[in-house]
Structure 1
Amino acid sequence: MTTADHSKNNGKVPPADETPIVELRGTGKSYGNIRALHGVSLAVHPGKVTCVLGDNGAGKSTLIKIISGLHQHTEGEFLIDGEPVRFSTPREALDRGIATVYQDLATVPLMPVWRNFFLGSEMTKGSWPIRRLDIARMKKTADEELRNMGIVLDDLEQPIGTLSGGQRQCVAIARAVYFGARVLILDEPTAALGVKQSGVVLKYIAAARDRGLGVIFITHNPHHAYMVGDHFNVLRLGTLELSADRSEVSLDELTNHMAGGAELAALKHELAQVSGVDVEELPEPEDLTAPVAATPEGTS
């Protein structure tokens, strides 16, 4: 997807006074004496993709757990539609329209696609005590919803484990949309995929955005993030190092922040003393300047 295509599909930028669906203001989480997350502010608007990037241990998993209701924040504010909330369970988050698609996708590989689509929320027919699964309606609904997302499968009876990784991700996204998600959290959806399958997933992330969902895209890959992202947040050691709109940061700047470019620049003089290491192309500290973490009011 080119920058031009992204701009065409993205539509209008939300007004500055539009209330985000999800907003964090100086949010943090401590586990005893260990502070896993501190002072993180971000906002998720409908029809926008908010990318959260960071290396292992940066705090991405803790951030997901707070928003999805697995853990409660210990500092700052967490707001849904402008209302402060403190979820006790993931069910409470789901009831407010926040759905999370984890890397393992929570699917049963040997079950058919349609059965996985409704796993845990099966349609039934008849009266108690002889209620039974409404298989025909579930198959029809699953096929319609997958087609609405542009996913065409010849056989919904095939085990979902026979689909490619990208196709399984897309089924999980369509399932979340069908069950009323307003905010879709995607946990490293392209991490274990090849180039082609990653492109398929990015396509459906853009499709979810174009249907008006707010998307939180968690990733290690700045190239994937830049293809579909509207706002970028880079976490480092539990704090927000960068918060910038697409127009405020280039792909090179985003990559440098992800790769620890500032640290590499600071160590340039030491690397120059190692034989066989070419440091001419390493960035200077002044080349790494980019928008710093914004205040809560400026994180839209």
Structure 2
Amino acid sequence: MTDVTEATEAAAEPGRTPLVELDDVSKYYGNIRALEGVSLEVHAGEISCVLGDNGAGKSTLIKIIAGLHQHDAGSLRIDGEETRLGSPREALDLGIATVYQDLAVVPLMPVWRNFFLGSEPTKGSGPFKRMDVDLMRETTRAELLRMGIDLRDVDQPIGTLSGGERQCVAIARAVYFGAKVLVLDEPTAALGVKQSGVVLKYVAAARDAGLGVVLITHNPHHAYLVGNRFVLLKRGAMSGSYARDEVTLDELTRQMAGGSELDDLRHELESRTP
């Protein structure tokens, strides 16, 4: 795994335009504030981590970047151009691939079929036009190996893979289809320690391949292992934004755990202790 500090320095070259930049972005549903005043930069070869508990606004942020929802205020820039994404297809055409927590795979279909799902290459013409199964099998195997994923058999149903392996297939698919920005929605949330480590390894591999990665997580330990930048959300607003050299893991964990609110609660509980 490439040293995170070196990746940060490389990504921080003066004058580099972010692949994606959110500036003071807000989103409202009627009178409900889902997101307000959030800023985020995503650079090539860098992992930007967005941390927050349930209800912090992480899902809304994902939907804005992925083109599912449009922002109501602020600006969204892609490659320096101000943009309002109208659909996930538009985001994908601009190089933004989103891997959701449920992965949107067909469990009983083989790995290679899920790898190309919706983008199947064909051969022949007219009534003889058909899917190029051999090409899909070989490409899937080669692309997974290129990411360091050595599957026993790409013909096995993807549902037989572990959660970590399925996440890795989704990451390799996004890289193959030309994503410049990879948004990962809680990729380690339902995984154990070992499988989480496997996924983080491939998240770092995507970064090392030159992609800009947005890692959505509630786990500061996972974020700090690979992250270059950290944005903390709380009740739809930013509670902190740091480069890696500006914050320690302990401080990141403290803020995720509640920060000053946790200290106030500790004092209150201690004062009530008989």
Q: TM-score range by the shorter chain?
A: over 0.9
Q: Which amino acid aligns with 1:176?
A: A
Name the CA distance, whole Å, in 2 between partners of 1:112 and 1:28. 41
- Distance in 1 (CA, whole Å) between partners of 2:166 and 2:182 is 16
Letter in 1 for 2:252: L
Structure 2 counterpart SS, 1:191: coil
Q: Does 1:84 align with 2:82?
A: yes
Q: Which residue of 2 aligns with 1:198?
A: 196
Which residue does the alignment assign to 1:28? 26
1:179 corresponds to = 177
Matched position secondary structure for 1:49: strand
**Are 1:10 and 1:210, in contact at CA under 8 Å, matched by a contact in 2?**
no
Q: CA deviation at 1:265?
A: 1.4
Shift of residue 11 of structure 1? Answer: 6.2
Offset from partner CA, 1:232-265 (integer Å, 9 cap, x none): 0000011111100000000010001111121011
Query: How far 1:129 sits from its partner (Å)?
Result: 3.5
Provide structure 2 residue ranges, at least 5 long, that are not aligned to the other structure.
none
Give 1:275 deviation, angstroms: 2.4
Find the aligned partners of 1:79 and 1:185 in 2 and give their Cα distance. 16
Q: Distance in 2 between matches of 1:10 and 1:254?
A: 18
SS in 2 for 1:12: helix
Amino acid at match of 2:102: D
Question: Contact between 2:5 and 2:228, CA under 8 Å: does it hold in 1?
Answer: no
Deviations 1:139-194 (A, max 9, x none): 01111111110001121111011111100000000001111100000000000000
Q: Where in structure 2 are the equivalents of 1:1-300 lying within 5 Å?
A: 5-7=3-5, 12-275=10-273
Q: TM-score, normalised by structure 2?
A: 0.97
Letter in 1 for 2:41: A
**One-letter amino acid of the counterpart of residue 140, structure 1:** E
CA–CA distance in 1 between the matches of 2:161 and 2:215?
Answer: 22
Q: How far does the alpha carbon of each residue in 1:86-129 deviate from its partner, in whole angstroms, 9 at most, with x for none?
A: 11110000000000000111111111000000011111001124
Question: Contact between 2:11 and 2:43, CA under 8 Å: does it hold in 1?
Answer: no
Q: Distance in 1 between matches of 2:8 and 2:239?
A: 26
Secondary structure at 2:239's aligned position in 1?
A: strand
Contact 1:101 1:184 in 2 (8 A): yes
CA-atom RMSD in angstroms: 1.4
Q: 1:22 to 1:9 in 2, by over 3 A?
A: closer
Aligned counterparts of 1:275 and 1:84: Cα–Cα separation in 2: 55
Structure 2: how far apart are the matches of 1:17 and 1:26? 21
- 1:264 maps to amino acid: L
Distance in structure 1 (CA, Å) of the matches to 2:6 and 2:212: 17
Distance 2:266 2:9 in 1: 42
Q: Partners of 1:257 and 1:9 in 2: how far apart? A: 25
Structure 1 residues 38 and 11: CA distance shift in structure 2, 3 A:
closer
Query: Which amino acid in 2 is paired with 1:150?
Result: G
Q: Tell me the TM-score normalised to structure 1 length.
A: 0.89
| Aligned mates of 1:174, 1:31 — CA distance in 2 | 35
In structure 2, C-alpha distance between the alignment counterparts of 1:11 and 1:147, rounded to whole Å: 28
Separation in 1, partners of 2:126, 2:117? 20
